């Protein structure tokens, strides 16, 4: 990880650790996970659409996105 990403996660961890009570702390962890997954979907979709704008095939997009099938790449590109 880059230093800035390490710092961002360290700040998130410090924030979560500062929350009183196990239940509220757990809820904040769940909320952080949901936010990260939404961001991941958005960023992967952006990559897919940028590659398509460069005239790459869905297979090429899938290869770049970790070797997923062209069908899955298509889904990612369409926000699924």
pLDDT value at position 1?
57
pTM score? 0.83
Show the beta-strand stretches assigned E in 1-80: none
φ and ψ of 75, to 5 deg: -60, -45
Structure confidence by residue, pLDDT tens digits, 20-36: 999 999 999 999 999 99
Residues with Cβ within 8 Å of 56's Cβ and at least 6 positions away in sequence, in order, are 64
Tokens coding 21: 């009570």
> d(Cα 80, Cα 76) in Å, to the nearest integer?
5
Between the alpha carbon of residue 65 and those of residues 3, 11, 20, 35, 73, the distances in Å are: 24, 28, 39, 20, 7
pLDDT value at position 55?
98
For each of the chain's 80 residues, which pLDDT tens digit applies? 578 999 999 999 999 999 999 999 999 999 999 999 999 999 999 999 999 999 999 999 999 999 999 999 999 999 98
């Amino acid at each position: 990880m880059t230093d800035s990403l390490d710092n961002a996660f360290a700040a998130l961890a410090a924030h979560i650790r500062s929350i009183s009570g196990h239940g509220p702390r757990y809820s904040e962890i769940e909320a952080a996970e949901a936010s990260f997954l939404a961001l991941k979907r958005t960023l992967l979709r952006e990559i897919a659409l940028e590659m398509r704008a460069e005239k790459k095939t869905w297979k090429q997009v899938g290869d770049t996105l970790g070797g997923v099938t062209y069908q899955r790449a298509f889904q990612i590109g369409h926000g699924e």
